[in-house]
Structures are given as structure tokens and as C-alpha cells.
């Protein structure tokens, strides 16, 4: 299983491509970047095909000692596998969606390929400090993409993005140093089984939370996201919403929950409170937006709040739902930003009021846009429904009040997404320039079809995505079992806590 270093190869291919892009002309740079991302996509397919569902928890492991206890240690479980698959699927679409970039194309393509290297490294790293290097280095190319190829206020947005995400991670580094000194290892799988003292767990949890909450992003540290999305080029928004936001959720799954389970239970009410505010507040803010990108950006905050309540529901349904929401949001939000990019490239404005009646002159575009709108809302049969249903079912077992308030996000989501779609696609064609826009080109049609196919696949047959993660989610659920909150939220909801297992239920009945 670990004989061939496929994970290192997946890091090497885009790295070599990035270096090559710096020394060639624009046309060749585009070709190299597309080929490199397609090769990584093929390697990702091989990775998924060879992943042994039900086998060893950590597969495709590599371990090379480097210096002073630091090692090149890679390996994945089912959770990391799915996030890597999401990354390698979206990257070729990002490269193909960058046809409108004309300035410093070689450097642009190199920056995107470096984003791919660092994203895969985050999900594959099994050494604590190797993870930190990948996690933080991912800021640099994204900062450059926004700051160089972004919109009019790109400098402000890039600095805000960089400072928010960097400052949150300083505390995480201090916590990592303490953990290594205490446990005597930098091995992430070992640390996931280490039992730290409760008081230490609380401080460690808060230190990691400072970083992961910004990456998600959670309310109220979400304000960098709308600015970053509005100013980023189309491909930058796709990869930012599609994958980079998932690094926060992955951090909670890989570090906060398994390493600090008691502290996670202690701070679960805080997570619920922040998430409920995020669902309602950002959905209401999305309703009044005039910029399409900003509306979708605020919707991302609301969707990621469903992820956090699912993660901290402390049961397998919540964890399953959180993972599917992350995967679905990566696809659907990326597709929505691509839809915005398609018409922005034609009319060079994101103002909703400048459009209208596009169903007349762009019927194929209107059809795909409708599918992704329905998936964002959570229509049954699409990827959005499966994740939100599981996550809300998981949190309902903890608190019906939290579930009720978070469910309003679905209603509000339908309001702002359908309102957006109606104003852009239906109605009268008030502007001649919008009415003259051509429908999807062949490359755009291929990219839309690919995103649509996976969105429907996940909605119709989610088991294919859940199966590789089932054993890992079960292991995490078992790790959380002893720390699981015992009915606090359920008592608030007006009913006694449920038994945690069938055996406990029988014991209660016998009593």
C-alpha cells in the first residue's frame, strides 16, 4: 500500500509545473498548468481506486526522517482522501476558467499550481510541523492571486485576508510546541490518541480554534471572506470557496475533536451559538446584496456554519453530514462563482441589476445556473440536500432548538438564491449589452457539465462518498463517546437525554 509514493508524486507534479510556468510564454504556461492539474486529477482517481475501504486506517503512508525530529511523513484516511479528490477535481476547472487572465500569465499559473501543492500537503501531512508549514504557506500564493490579479480594491482585500488568517495561526503554533514537548512526538495519528489533561485541553482547543475559526470562516471573524471573494479573479474565488475554506473544517476533525475531546464538549455551546448567529445573520445580509459574488460569499458563511454544528453534534450523523456539506459546498459554491465569472467576462460587472432575462439569449447557461441554485438551496436529488439533512439530523439529537434555528438557513437560503436567480435569468431584458451576450462556449459547457455531473452523483448516490469515510468517522465518534455531552441541550429542548447505545437503552428499560 505504501510502496509507491503516490502522495509525494501528487505534490511533485504541480510543483514542477509551477517552476516550468515561470520560464515560458503565456500560451505554454496555460498548457503546462492544465496538463499538470489533469495529471494530478488522474493520480487522484488512482488514489481513490486503490484506497482499501475497510482496510488500515492510514494508507499510502510515507515516512522519511529529515532533521532534528522533523520528518517527511505523509498518509491519508478516508476523510483526507475525499478532500484531496475535491481539490484535484476543481484545479483543472480553475485553470481552464482563467482564460481571461492576460497579465503575467506564467506567474499566475505558477501561483495556482503552488496552491494545489500546499492544499494536498495539508490533507496528506502526518507530521505536526509539516502540516503547519503547508497550512500557513497556502496563504502566500492565494495572497498573490488576490493582490496581483484581483479587482480595484485588491490590495486592501489581500492584506485583510493575509492578516486575519496569519494572526489566528500564531497561537496554534505555540500550542503545537507545547503538545510536542508534552507528548514527545510530532506524529499526528499518535497525538490523536493522546489524552491531554483537561485544563491543558481547554487552552489548546482555544489556540487551535483561533486559527480554524478564521479559516472556516466563523462569525464574527468572517469579514475577510466577502472582500476576498469580490476582489479575487474567478478561479481564485472557486478555489477559495471550494477548498481553502475546508481547511478549517478539516482542522476541527483532525485536531480539535480527537485531540481535545473533553474541551470540545465544554466549548460546544459556544460553537452552537456562533453558528446559529452565522446562519441567520449572514443569510439576511445575503438577501440585501447587489453584488453577485458578495451574495454567494455570505451564503458560504451560512453553509459552513452548518458544518460546525454538525461536527460538534458529537454523533456519526452530524459528522457524516458535516463532511458531505463540505464536499457539496466545495462543488456548488465553486460552480456558482464560475457562473458569475462566465457573465462577468462578457459584461465586466457583477451588479445584479445590470442583468435580467438571460434565459432568452443564454438558455444553456440558465439551465446550469438553475441546477446549482437548487443544489445550494438543498433540493432533494442534489448534493446540498444530503449533507444538510444529515447534519441537521445529527444536531437535532443534541438540541431541537439549535436544529430549528439552523433550519431557518435553508428557508433564507431559498429566499436569497431564488431572488438572485429571478433577477439575473428571468424578467425583461432591460439592457441591450446583457441581451446581446452569447451563450456558453464549448469549454464553458464542458466545465459546467463536469460540475453538474458530480453534484447530481453526490445527491443521488452519496454512499460512494460516505463509504471511504465511514470507518474514520466511526473511530472519531468512538473517541468522542466518553466526552459526549449528556443531555444538556436535550433537557433545554424539554426532553430527557437519549441513551448513547442500544445496550444502554436496554439497561434503562430493565431498570
* 104: region left, alpha or beta (phi > 0 left; psi from -120 to 50 alpha): left
Q: pLDDT value at position 39?
A: 94
DSSP letter assigned to residue 498:
P
* The C-alpha cell that represents 48 in the structure block: 481513490
Q: pLDDT value at position 503?
A: 35
Q: Is the pLDDT of residue 237 over 90?
A: no
- Name the residue among 239, 205, 216 with its Cα closest to residue 322: 216
Question: CA-CA distance, 328 to 335, in Å (whole number)?
Answer: 10
pLDDT tens profile 320-365: 999 999 999 999 999 999 999 999 888 888 888 888 888 888 899 9
pLDDT tens profile 291-304: 898 899 898 888 88
CA 337 vs CA 267, 294, 413: distances in Å: 34, 10, 16
DSSP string covering 243-307, please? IITHHHHHHIIIIIHHHSHHHHHHHHHHHHHHHHHHHHHHHHHHHT-SBHHHHHHHHHHHHHHHH
Q: Is the pLDDT of residue 496 over 50?
A: no
Residue ranges per structural domain of the chain: 6-493
Q: pLDDT value at position 511?
A: 35
pLDDT, average across residues 475-503: 55
Question: CA-CA distance, 351 to 344, in Å (whole number)?
Answer: 9
Q: How confident is the model at residue 486 (pLDDT cuts 50, 70, 90)?
A: low
Q: pLDDT value at position 365?
A: 92
What are the phi and psi torsion angles at 93 (to 5°)?
Answer: -65, -40
Q: Is the pLDDT of residue 68 over 70?
A: no
- Name the residue among 227, 73, 89 with its Cα closest to residue 162: 227
Q: How confident is the model at residue 9 (pLDDT cuts 50, 70, 90)?
A: very high
Q: pLDDT value at position 335?
A: 92
Q: How confident is the model at residue 41 (pLDDT cuts 50, 70, 90)?
A: very high
Contact 70, 130 (CB under 8 A): yes
Residues linked to residue 71 through DSSP beta bridges, in sequence order: 65
Q: How confident is the model at residue 17 (pLDDT cuts 50, 70, 90)?
A: very high
Q: What is the CA radius of gyration of the chain?
A: 22
pLDDT, average across residues 454-462: 92
pLDDT, average across residues 98-125: 90
Q: Residues of 434-464 as b/e, b for ≥16 C-beta within 10 angstroms?
A: bbebeebeeebeebbebbbebbeebbeebee
Q: Is the pLDDT of residue 487 over 80?
A: no
Q: Kindly report the average pLDDT of the chain as a whole number.
A: 86
Q: pLDDT value at position 69?
A: 66
For the ranges 14-28, 276-290, 478-492, which has the lowest average pLDDT?
478-492
Q: Residue 344 contacts by C-beta under 8 Å, 6 or more apart in sequence?
A: 234, 350
Helix (H/G/I), strand (E/B), else coil: 483: coil
DSSP string covering 343-408, please? HHHHHS--BGGG---HHHH-HHHHHHHHHHHHHHHT-TTSHHHHHHHHHHHHHHTT-HHHHHHHHH
pLDDT, average across residues 93-103: 87
pLDDT tens profile 239-277: 888 888 888 889 999 998 998 888 888 888 999 999 999
pLDDT tens profile 300-316: 888 888 999 999 888 88
Q: pLDDT value at position 49?
A: 92
Q: pLDDT value at position 450?
A: 93
Q: pLDDT value at position 498?
A: 40
Q: pLDDT value at position 91?
A: 93
Q: Is the pLDDT of residue 168 over 80?
A: no
What angle, 0 to 180 degrees and rounded to 10, lies between the N-to-C axes of helices 442-460 and 383-396? 40
Q: Is the pLDDT of residue 499 over 80?
A: no
Question: CA-CA distance, 238 to 340, in Å (whole number)?
Answer: 10
Q: Residue 376 contacts by C-beta under 8 Å, 6 or more apart in sequence?
A: 299, 303, 332, 333, 336, 384, 413, 417
Contact 113, 37 (CB under 8 A): yes
Amino acid at each position: 500500500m505504501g510502496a509507491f509514493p503516490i502522495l509525494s508524486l501528487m505534490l511533485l507534479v504541480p510543483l514542477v509545473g509551477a517552476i516550468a510556468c515561470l520560464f515560458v510564454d503565456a500560451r505554454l504556461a496555460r498548457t503546462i498548468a492544465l496538463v499538470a492539474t489533469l495529471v494530478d486529477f488522474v493520480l487522484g482517481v488512482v488514489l481513490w481506486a486503490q484506497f482499501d475501504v475497510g482496510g488500515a486506517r492510514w494508507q499510502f503512508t510515507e515516512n522519511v526522517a529529515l532533521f532534528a525530529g522533523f520528518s517527511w511523513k505523509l498518509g491519508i484516511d478516508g476523510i483526507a482522501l475525499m478532500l484531496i479528490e475535491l481539490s484535484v477535481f476543481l484545479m483543472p476547472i480553475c485553470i481552464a476558467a482563467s482564460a481571461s487572465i492576460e497579465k503575467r500569465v506564467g506567474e499566475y499559473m505558477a501561483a495556482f499550481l503552488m496552491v494545489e501543492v500546499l492544499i494536498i500537503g495539508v490533507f496528506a501531512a502526518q507530521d505536526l510541523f509539516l502540516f503547519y508549514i503547508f497550512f500557513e504557506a497556502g496563504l502566500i500564493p492565494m495572497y498573490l492571486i488576490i493582490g496581483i490579479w484581483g479587482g480595484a480594491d485588491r490590495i486592501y482585500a489581500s492584506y485583510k485576508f493575509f492578516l486575519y488568517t496569519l494572526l489566528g495561526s500564531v497561537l496554534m503554533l505555540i500550542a503545537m510546541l507545547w503538545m510536542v514537548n508534552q507528548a514527545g512526538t510530532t506524529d499526528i495519528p499518535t497525538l490523536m490518541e493522546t489524552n491531554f489533561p483537561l485544563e491543558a485541553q481547554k487552552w489548546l482547543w482555544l489556540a487551535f480554534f483561533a486559527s480554524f475559526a478564521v479559516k472556516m470562516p466563523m462569525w464574527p471573524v468572517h469579514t475577510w471572506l466577502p472582500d476576498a471573494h469580490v476582489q479575487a479573479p474567478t478561479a481564485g474565488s472557486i478555489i477559495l470557496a471550494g477548498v481553502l475554506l475546508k481547511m478549517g473544517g478539516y482542522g476541527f476533525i483532525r485536531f480539535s475533536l480527537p485531540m481535545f475531546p473533553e474541551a470540545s464538549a465544554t466549548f460546544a455551546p459556544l460553537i452552537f451559538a456562533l453558528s446559529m448567529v452565522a446562519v441567520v445573520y449572514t443569510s439576511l445580509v445575503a438577501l440585501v446584496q447587489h453584488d453577485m459574488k458578495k451574495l454567494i460569499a455570505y451564503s458560504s458563511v451560512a453553509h459552513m456554519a452548518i458544518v460546525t454544528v454538525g461536527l460538534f453534534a458529537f454523533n456519526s450523523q452530524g459528522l457524516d453530514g458535516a463532511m458531505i456539506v463540505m464536499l457539496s459546498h466545495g462543488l456548488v459554491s465553486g460552480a456558482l462563482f464560475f457562473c458569475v465569472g462566465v457573465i462577468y467576462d462578457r459584461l465586466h460587472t457583477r451588479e445584479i441589476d445590470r442583468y435580467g432575462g438571460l434565459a432568452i439569449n443564454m438558455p444553456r447557461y440558465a439551465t446550469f445556473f438553475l441546477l446549482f441554485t437548487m443544489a445550494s438551496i438543498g433540493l432533494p436529488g442534489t448534493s446540498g440536500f444530503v449533507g444538510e439533512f444529515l447534519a441537521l439530523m445529527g444536531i437535532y439529537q443534541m438540541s431541537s432548538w439549535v436544529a430549528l434555528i439552523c433550519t431557518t438557513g435553508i428557508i433564507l437560503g431559498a429566499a436569497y438564491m431564488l431572488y438572485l436567480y429571478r433577477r439575473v435569468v428571468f424578467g425583461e431584458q432591460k439592457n441591450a449589452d446583457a441581451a446581446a451576450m452569447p451563450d456558453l462556449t464549448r469549454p464553458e459547457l464542458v466545465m459546467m457539465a463536469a460540475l453538474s455531473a458530480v453534484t447530481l452523483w453526490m445527491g443521488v448516490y452519496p454512499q460512494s462518498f460516505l463509504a471511504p469515510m465511514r470507518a474514520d468517522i466511526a473511530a472519531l465518534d468512538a473517541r468522542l463517546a466518553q466526552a459526549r455531552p449528556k443531555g444538556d441541550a436535550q433537557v433545554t429542548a424539554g426532553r430527557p437525554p437519549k441513551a448513547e447505545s442500544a445496550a444502554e437503552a436496554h439497561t434503562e428499560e430493565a431498570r
